[in-house]
């Protein structure tokens, strides 16, 4: 997974427990991984294995009154675990961006895409409203979103899920963050929209050198996108490897089971392959 000093994001000995009436219950434990600059790390496992708990811990979005988060989470050498909310708000969106699996939940329905895009930029920069709008348009054009000036005038409900997801990726990329956490970014999309979103994520990685933590239960997505992969089961990492080694020579029985049961997507005539 790379030498510690080279990792943009480094998670060490992460242990998360939730408070219950009976005491504390462990959600994830002994989580260790790092992501190098410009690399994509795939995080896979079945639902409930701890993938989202891990990502929320990195983003420091958990309710700290109910959860105990121990361990080290560093971004560009800066410790995130335990930071005050005010400090984390400066980091989230600028240095550490997040892409949700359901784009409808990422936007406020009563404000236009433009209002939300511009506000995101202004909250982290000293740009004027006009400059922020120009930046939004430039970024949308750079990721091949057609007619961005029109898109900025739309309300979220006027766009498809696939289009909203692509706009959300543009928003995440606009300030060139060090790391983007993409939590199941293609789950709610049709196959065509999935391909567009994956190509867009790869373009952001290539253009800006952004590292990506790609969380998915879809091994097809992971095999196409990731450089390295970690596999989680019951809140623990059971295997970590280069993507080629993991798919060609999985060592853990759980990984072998996941690979054996993965679906194969076909077009009407033949398997669909593509180059990102």
Domains of the chain, with CATH numbers? 39-48+85-261 (3.40.50.300)
Quick: pLDDT tens for 1-28. Answer: 544 558 999 999 999 999 888 888 999 9
Average pLDDT score over residue span 50-60? 94
pLDDT above 50 (res 276): no
Cα-Cα-Cα-Cα torsion 273, 172, 56, 50, nearest 10 degrees, comes to 0
Cα–Cα distance list, 108 to 23, 82, 89, 104, 164 (Å): 37, 28, 18, 8, 12
**Which residues does 154 contact at the CB level (< 8 Å), separation at least 6?**
112, 113
Residue 105 confidence class, pLDDT cut points 50, 70, 90: confident
pLDDT above 70 (res 207): yes
pLDDT above 90 (res 265): no
Handedness of CA 209, 230, 168, 140 (dihedral sign): positive
pTM (2 decimals)? 0.89
pLDDT above 90 (res 262): no
- Res 264: pLDDT: 56
Average pLDDT score over residue span 84-90? 91
Quick: pLDDT tens for 131-171. Answer: 999 999 999 998 888 899 999 999 999 998 889 999 999 99
**Which residues does 135 contact at the CB level (< 8 Å), separation at least 6?**
121, 127, 174
pLDDT above 60 (res 236): yes
């Amino acid at each position: 997974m790379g030498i510690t000093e080279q990792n943009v994001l480094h998670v060490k000995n992460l242990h998360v427990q939730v408070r219950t009436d009976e005491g504390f219950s462990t959600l994830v434990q002994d989580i260790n991984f790092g992501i190098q600059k410009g690399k994509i790390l795939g995080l896979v496992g079945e639902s409930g294995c701890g993938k989202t708990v891990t990502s929320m811990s990195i983003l420091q979005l958990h309710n700290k009154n109910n959860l105990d988060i121990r361990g080290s989470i560093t971004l560009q050498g800066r410790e995130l675990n335990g930071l005050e909310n005010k400090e984390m708000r400066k980091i989230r969106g600028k240095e550490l961006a997040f892409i949700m699996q359901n784009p409808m939940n990422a936007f406020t329905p009563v404000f236009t895409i433009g209002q939300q895009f511009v506000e995101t930029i202004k909250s982290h920069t000293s740009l004027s409203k006009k400059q922020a709008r120009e930046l939004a348009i430039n970024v949308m054009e750079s990721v091949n979103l057609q007619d961005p000036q029109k898109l900025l005038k739309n309300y979220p409900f006027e766009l498809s899920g696939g289009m909203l997801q692509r706009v959300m990726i543009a928003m995440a990329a606009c300030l060139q963050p060090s790391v983007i956490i993409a939590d199941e970014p293609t789950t709610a999309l049709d196959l065509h929209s999935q391909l567009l979103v994956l190509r867009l994520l790869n373009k952001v990685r290539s253009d800006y050198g952004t590292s990506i933590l790609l969380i998915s239960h879809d091994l097809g997505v992971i095999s196409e996108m990731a450089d390295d992969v970690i596999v989680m089961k019951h809140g623990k990492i059971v295997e970590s490897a280069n993507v080629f080694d993991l798919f060609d020579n999985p060592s853990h029985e759980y990984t072998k089971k996941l690979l054996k049961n993965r679906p194969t997507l076909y077009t009407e005539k033949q398997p669909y392959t593509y180059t990102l």
